Amino acid sequence: MRTLTKLKVSMLTTLAFLIGLSTLILTALFTYVLTPTAGLSTVLVLSLVFVIGIHVLQWLVGPKIIEMAYNAEPIMGGRYAWVEELIARIARASNLGFIPKAMIAHVDVPNAFAYGNRLTGYKVAVTEGLLRIAPPEEVEAVLAHEIGHIKHRDVELMMVISILPALIFWLGRVLMYFGWFGGGDREGEASILPIIGAVLMGVAFLFNFAVLYVSRLREYYADAHAALTVPGGARKLQRALARILVASGELKAFAPSKVASASKFKAFLIADPEEGIEVRGYGIIDIDEVVEWIKSQPRLVPTEIFMTHPDPAKRLRFLDTLASGAT
């Protein structure tokens, strides 16, 4: 259990850092402003309500926006009924307590995603592009990954922690403008507030890297769920991810607009379409050779700290540790 334990410790440590430091910053900030300076404190409180309100609204209407962006609709039997059956089986094996609604996204880029909330219901979508290139056993591993996101409440978690840098940035901006144009009520406030605001905006920028790091950790965690829920899940997921990377790379070369369109909400996808790789002769080579080639690379993407998903080479090697039983 060493691999999963290390993963959980990393997630908890990062979350504690984000939440703890944010709480400290906000406490210090409001301790400073919640004094007779009523004008500034009112503006900051209203800003707090505004930022949280925007994120809650996105959480509520987000599922409909995602469905429109990916042209997704419910699977109601027919040719994709087997996807419904897989989702139901995996949900039961995951002890989820409910069965997410199966969705088909009418896009050519191969991918899958989980979304929704307690109010709108949870849903798992696969694209037509994925169903064209991956056999059912690999689709099963992909679906298990997505159901892992639902089981781990990743949608809610990412919404909560993404509020923190957004809130700190907005408060910093308000302080900067208030100092420039509001003048402040206390002696020296007009000169110090822009400085505090600039510092907060810088902190918010750095916090975003921590949020992206948590996003990458959640992908590893969902991969682990697939590996431990589906028989042979680690190997099947490796193959599926390799197929997605290769097919996305080909589409990026010949139809870049399709890849760009599919990348609108890439944080929800199982793999970033823009990370696609080009492999000549994909139609005749063994996908296992592609998997081994990817794993042999030190890394495929040099700027992982800016990514919502783990570097593909590291990700496939992580699945190796699960396949070997070193969990």
Q: Which residues are catalytic?
A: 146
218's tokens:
């959640």
State how far Cα 122 lies from the chain centre.
16
What pairs with residue 74 in β-bridges? 103
Instruction: Name which of 73, 147, 141 is nearest 115 in CA terms.
Output: 147
Instruction: Name which of 313, 225, 323, 308 is nearest 271 in CA terms.
Output: 308
Query: Are the C-beta atoms of 305 and 324 separated by less than 8 Å?
Result: no
How many other CB atoms are there within 10 angstroms of residue 138's CB atom?
A: 24
263's tokens:
């990348």
Amino acid at the residue 101? K
Distance CA 69, CA 79 (A): 23
The backbone torsions φ and ψ at residue 155, rounded to the nearest 5 degrees and listed phi first, read: -60, -45
What angle is formed at CA 275 by the lines to CA 87 and CA 11, rounded to 5 degrees?
Answer: 65
Which stretches of 46-191 are assigned E, i.e. beta strand? 72-74, 101-105, 112-117, 121-127
Query: Are the C-beta atoms of 272 and 263 separated by less than 8 Å?
Result: yes
